[in-house]
Structure 1
Amino acid sequence: MKKTRSVGFQLFALALGVIVLIPVLYALSVSFMKPDEILSREVNLLPRSFYLGNYIAAFQKTTLTRFLLNSFVMTVGSSTVRLVTAGTAAFALSFYNFRGKQAMFLLIIGTMMIPPDLLIVKTIERLPIWA
């Protein structure tokens, strides 16, 4: 009974994963189609030919490389700060006993409930370059 339940759960999770991946794979497929193939009335799941013109146009008409670099810098920077902060806090909370340790732990857990994306957006809004 327990094994059947586990197999059923795994099959359900696999089916859910496939359902989530289908739109992503379709978007990737459409990105390699020619514009007239995308806008045709018939539904095409796979491109007839491998077309890189959409990617070339995206890089030529926008500053996509700058956007990618900005995303990379923000990701590496925030991940580094989080790892250092979380590592030192975890070390202090697990190996040292001090007054206010429980309150500090609850404060850390409470701040984890705030989505980090919200903090990034609010910080960027305050930068002088957006004024």
Structure 2
Amino acid sequence: MTLDNILAISKKPGLYKLINPSRGGYIVESFLDQKRTFVKADKNLSLLSDISIYTLEGEISLADVFDKIYNNEKGKETSTSPNASKDDLEEYLFSILPNFDEDRVYPSDIKKLLSWYNLLLSSGVYGTASKDDTPKDEEE
């Protein structure tokens, strides 16, 4: 599975796997409870593969940030809770991504990042999602 099939739905908790587009919307399956539901096409859906984190030099893809967290945590859940204080969240992200733009990346974004990473890891998706996607360091 790739991050191309994983959605975040505005105003809904957790992440969803895209099962099938259908007339007028999408059939999705929740990673939290494995229930399938229909989501209308007018909902605000975001593919994880389209999400980036702002850095001082530009942007970095969510998959690359997940790789950095995975390597830093040695394949385990994040050492900082998604419900930690604002300062703890920013300190954690600085340890993973020292050049993130703290003026444009809010604590709520970091909470989502950590929650999503932990959810993908616990559901067994992360290990296969990131390793298949991108060849690293081709330009260097």
User: Same fold by TM-score, threshold 0.5 exceeded?
Assistant: no
* TM-score of the aligned structures, taking structure 2 as reference length: 0.22
* TM-score of the aligned structures, taking structure 1 as reference length: 0.23
Rg larger in structure:
1
Q: Which has the higher strand share?
A: 2
Using CA pairs under 8 Å that are at least 6 residues apart, name the structure with larger relative contact order, 1 or 2: 2
